[in-house]
């Protein structure tokens, strides 16, 4: 692969990563709902996630990057841990 193609493909990857974040429904809401205090309610955040077009991309990103805190793709930290264990 030549240098120009490498640059073009890395731009495409970056664009893909950014494009789902641009469509994140949580960006239009209260971000604190997605990072509740320990024991706090996750209901409001999960309700927003249900209507989000990029839920799958968001969850995939969180699993790939081992995001430990907050609601991602409609799942809490504990739910993502369970999902990861089931996938092993
Ligand atoms: S799935 Fe939820 S956390 Fe992920 S981008 Fe959509 S609203 Fe935000």
Residue 34 CA, closest ligand 1 atom number: 3
Gap between the Cα atoms of 7 and 42, Å rounded: 40
Alpha carbon of 82 to ligand 1 centroid (Å): 19
Question: Measuring CA to CA, which residue among 26, 37, 28 is closest to residue 62?
Answer: 26
Tens digits of residue pLDDT in 15-34: 555 689 999 999 999 989 99
Gap between the Cα atoms of 88 and 78, Å rounded: 16
Residue among 17, 25, 30, 43 to mutate when testing ligand 1 (max atoms within 8 A of CB): 25
9 pLDDT band, cuts 50/70/90, is: low
For the entire predicted model, the pTM comes to 0.80
Residue 25 CA, closest ligand 1 atom number: 7
14 pLDDT band, cuts 50/70/90, is: low
């Amino acid at each position: 692969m030549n240098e120009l193609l490498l640059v073009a493909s890395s731009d495409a990857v970056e664009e893909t990563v950014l494009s789902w974040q641009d469509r994140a429904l949580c960006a239009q809401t209260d971000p604190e709902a997605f990072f509740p205090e320990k024991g706090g309610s996750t209901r409001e955040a999960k309700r927003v996630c249900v209507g989000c077009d990029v839920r799958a991309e968001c969850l995939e990103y969180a699993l790939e990057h081992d995001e430990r805190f907050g609601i991602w793709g409609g799942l809490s930290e504990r739910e993502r841990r369970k999902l990861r264990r089931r996938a092993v």
